Amino acid sequence: MNGHCLCGAVQLSFEPKAPELHACHCDMCRRWAGSAFVEIDVEPGTLEVEGPVKAFASSDWAERAWCDTCGTTLWYHLTLPGHDDFYAISAGLVDDMGGLSMTKEIYIDRKPDGFAFAGNHVTQTKAEVEAQFASFAEGEPE
């Protein structure tokens, strides 16, 4: 898949880990993306990026990146040892999503009322997601 930021200064290409979209409703993602962060997980080792990227360590386990020219949201990146090859690319960057469908929503208990994605898919609460991140930090398998 290929994509770029709003101004075109950041160009990227990657292979999706699976043909699916995910959405996060956590407070940070909503502030950062202006709504739910809808993303595509990247197949490890396939992300190629050119351009002025800036990143911010938004938690003990992850950073968020944006174009330093236009401010476009680029990706969420896990920084935990053993998981630092995980990138979730903003779906809005991609030129052609090729029919990807929503398969998971996380922080579902933080979702604003009146906001819903159609279809049946996996949902996880804040507690479920953060327990999973804690297991990553302790070195337990996904």
DSSP assignment of 75-117: EEEE-STTTTT-EEEEGGGBS--TT-EEEEEESGGGSPTT---
Residue 123 within a domain = yes
Can you give the pTM of this predicted structure? Answer: 0.89
Question: CA-based angle 63:65:69, to the nearest 5?
Answer: 155
- How many Cβ atoms from other residues are within 10 Å of residue 63's Cβ? 16
Handedness of CA 28, 57, 131, 88 (dihedral sign): positive
The pLDDT of residue 141? 46
Q: Is the pLDDT of residue 140 over 70?
A: no
Residue 103 within a domain = yes
| Number of domains present in the structure of the chain | 1
Domain encompassing residue 114: 2-137
The pLDDT of residue 33? 92
Using DSSP's 3-state secondary structure scheme, residue 31 falls into helix
The pLDDT of residue 61? 85
Residue 108 within a domain = yes
Cα 126 to Cα 55: distance, rounded to the nearest angstrom: 24
Residue 142 within a domain = no
Report which of 78, 96, 95, 98 is spatially closest to residue 87, judged by C-alpha positions.
78
The CATH code of the domain that includes 17 is 2.170.150.70
Quote the mean pLDDT of the chain: 92
Residue 10 within a domain = yes
pLDDT tens by residue, 77-98: 999 888 889 999 999 999 988 7
pLDDT tens by residue, 121-138: 999 999 999 888 777 666
Residue 76 within a domain = yes
What is the side-by-side order of every strand in the sheet holding 48-50?
A: 2-4, 11-13, 48-50
Cα 90 to Cα 67: distance, rounded to the nearest angstrom: 12
Q: Is the pLDDT of residue 17 over 80?
A: yes
Evaluate whether 41 touches 105 at the Cβ level (below 8 Å).
no
Radius of gyration of the chain (CA): 15
